[in-house]
Amino acid sequence: MNKDGLQRCKYLDKLGIPIENYGTNFCDKSDKRWKRWMKQRKKYGFDDRETWNLDQMFYEWIYTRFMMYKEVSIADLEYNKIKLENGKKISLGEAIDIVIEGCKKIILGESHKLDDSLPHEVWEVLEKVMPYMWW
């Protein structure tokens, strides 16, 4: 945490996203709603700022957790094969990379239109890898 109480994230920092723009950091303690948010955090474990852009929060969460999974996991990411809907078989590691890269583009604003195929591709691959995301 920095001096303003904002939580840093190494993976979002590496994308060049300012700390005040990611997660629930996009307001400071001087905001009149701060007290309400802290009460919500005590009660629920999160506050309503996470619901403002819930889609973006999901992509940030998936991106950061998948990045850490690749960094700390001892799982063999080449062992399991994932069959995509187009019939192509790829390794779990390749599938994780597809999810990471897709989420990265979405977080950076390179893909945000509802008719854009990238979010659909991320969710298609994510659906396939989820049963393997443990170690």
pLDDT for res 48 = 87
Phi, psi of 30 (to 5 degrees): -80, -10
Contact 51, 103 (CB under 8 A): no
The predicted model gives 59-66 an average pLDDT of: 93
DSSP per residue, 69-91: HHHH--S-TTTSEEE-TTS-EEE
**What integer is the mean pLDDT of 91-101?**
96
Q: Is residue 4 one of the residues assigned to a domain?
A: no
Q: Are residues 41 and 61 in the same domain?
A: no
Q: Are residues 99 and 121 in the same domain?
A: yes
> What's the mean pLDDT in 44-52?
86
Whether 6 has a pLDDT exceeding 60, the answer reads: no
**Higher-confidence position of 74 and 9:** 74
Cα(98)–Cα(102) distance, integer angstroms: 6
Q: What is the Cα–Cα distance from 24 to 129, expressed in whole angstroms?
A: 27
Instruction: Give a yes or no: residue 2 inside a domain.
Output: no
Query: Rounded to two decimals, what is the model's pTM?
Result: 0.81
Is residue 98 scored above 70 in pLDDT?
A: yes
Q: Which domain holds residue 85?
A: 54-132
Residues 99 and 40 in one domain: no
Mean pLDDT for the stretch of residues 13-21: 79
Q: Of 21 and 115, which is predicted with more confidence?
A: 21
Q: Give percent of the chain above pLDDT 70.
A: 84
Is 25 within a domain? yes
| Same domain (yes/no): 99, 123 | yes
Residue 5 lies in a domain: no
pLDDT > 90 in the chain, percent: 42
